[in-house]
Structure 1
Amino acid sequence: MDNFQMNLEKYAELVIKVGVNLHKGQDLMIESPIESLELTRLIVKKAYEAGANFVQVHWQDDVITRSRFEHAHDEALDYYPEWYTNMLERFVENGGALLNIKVPDPDLYAGIDASMISRASKAMAKARAKYQQYVRTSKFSWCLIKAPTVAWASKVYADLPEEQRIDAMWEAIFRINRVYEDDPVAAWRVHMDQLKRVRSVLNGKQYEALQYRAAGTDLRVELPEGHIWLGGDTENASGIRFVANMPTEEVFTMPKRTGVNGTVSSTKPLNVNGALVDRFSFKFEDGKVVDYQAEVGYEHLARLLDMDEGARYLGEVALVPFDSPISNLDRIFYNTGIDENASCHLALGSCYPINLQDGVSFSSEELKARGGNASLIHVDFMIGTADLEIDGVLGDGTIEPIFRRGNWAIAF
Structure 2
Amino acid sequence: MDNFDNMLDKYAKLAVEVGVNIQKNQTLVINSPIECTDFARLLAKHAYALGAKDVHVEWYDEEMMLMRYMNAPYEVFTKFPKWQVDKMEGFAEEGAAFISVLASDPELLKDVDPKKIAEDKKTKGVALKGYMDRIMADEVCWSVVSVPTKGWAKKVFDGLPGDEAVDKLWKAIFKTVRADHDDIITAWQQHLDNLERRVKFLNEKRFKTLHYISEGTDLTIDLPPDHIWCGGGEYSQKDVYFVANIPTEEVFTLPHKTGVNGKVRSTMPLNYNGNLIEGFSLTFKDGKVVDFSADRGYDILKGILETDAGSLYLGEVALVPYDSPISNLDIIFYNTLFDENASCHLALGAAYPTCLKGGAFMSRDALKKAGVNDSAIHEDFMIGSNDLDIIGITADGKKAHIFKDGNWAF
Q: Classify the TM-score, shorter chain.
A: over 0.9
How many Å apart are 1:79 and its aligned residue?
1.0
How many Å apart are 1:143 and its aligned residue?
0.7
Which amino acid is 1:20 matched to?
A: V
User: What's the Cα RMSD here?
Assistant: 0.9
Name the SS of the counterpart of 2:244 in structure 1.
coil
1:175 aligns with 2:175: yes
**Distance (whole Å) between structure 2 residues aligned to residue 36 and residue 374 of structure 1:** 32
Which amino acid is 2:174 matched to?
A: F
**Distance (whole Å) between structure 1 residues aligned to residue 159 and residue 76 of structure 2:** 39
Where do 1:216-231 residues align within 5 Å?
A: 216-231=216-231
- 2:281 corresponds in structure 1 to 281
Which amino acid is 2:249 matched to?
A: E
**Distance (whole Å) between structure 1 residues aligned to residue 8 and residue 349 of structure 2:** 35
Which amino acid is 1:164 matched to?
A: E
**Distance (whole Å) between structure 2 residues aligned to residue 34 and residue 225 of structure 1:** 45
Residues 27-84 of structure 1, C-alpha deviations (whole Å, 9 max, x = no match): 1111111221222222111111000111111222100111221222332111111111
Residues 183-216 of structure 1, C-alpha deviations (whole Å, 9 max, x = no match): 1011111111111111011001110000010000
How many Å apart are 1:259 and its aligned residue?
0.6
- 1:112 corresponds in structure 2 to 112
1:8 aligns with 2:8: yes
Residues 235-261 of structure 1, C-alpha deviations (whole Å, 9 max, x = no match): 111111111111000000010111111
**Distance (whole Å) between structure 2 residues aligned to residue 42 and residue 370 of structure 1:** 43
Residues 83-129 of structure 1, C-alpha deviations (whole Å, 9 max, x = no match): 11111111011111111111111112111111111111111011000
- 1:214 corresponds in structure 2 to 214
Aligned structure 1 segments of 4 or more residues deviating by more than 6 angstroms: none
Aligned residue pairs total 410
**Distance (whole Å) between structure 2 residues aligned to residue 235 and residue 15 of structure 1:** 16
**Distance (whole Å) between structure 1 residues aligned to residue 115 and residue 320 of structure 2:** 33
How many Å apart are 1:274 and its aligned residue?
2.1
Which amino acid is 1:181 matched to?
A: H
- 2:64 corresponds in structure 1 to 64
Which shifted more, 72-81 or 369-378? 72-81
Residues 314-335 of structure 1, C-alpha deviations (whole Å, 9 max, x = no match): 1100000000000001110011
Where do 1:33-44 residues align within 5 Å?
A: 33-44=33-44
Where do 1:3-402 residues align within 5 Å?
A: 3-402=3-402
How many Å apart are 1:386 and its aligned residue?
0.5
Which shifted more, 65-74 or 43-52? 65-74
Consecutive unaligned residues of structure 2, counting only runs of 5 or more, are none
TM-score, normalization by structure 2: 0.98
Name the SS of the counterpart of 2:230 in structure 1.
coil
Which amino acid is 1:300 matched to?
A: I
Name the SS of the counterpart of 2:140 in structure 1.
coil
How many Å apart are 1:306 and its aligned residue?
1.0
**Distance (whole Å) between structure 1 residues aligned to residue 360 and residue 88 of structure 2:** 20
| Conserved? CA contact 2:150–2:163, under 8 Å | no
Which amino acid is 1:117 matched to?
A: I
How many Å apart are 1:273 and its aligned residue?
2.5
Q: Sequence identity of aligned pairs in percent?
A: 47
Name the SS of the counterpart of 1:342 in structure 2.
coil
**Distance (whole Å) between structure 2 residues aligned to residue 152 and residue 351 of structure 1:** 29
**Distance (whole Å) between structure 2 residues aligned to residue 45 and residue 99 of structure 1:** 14
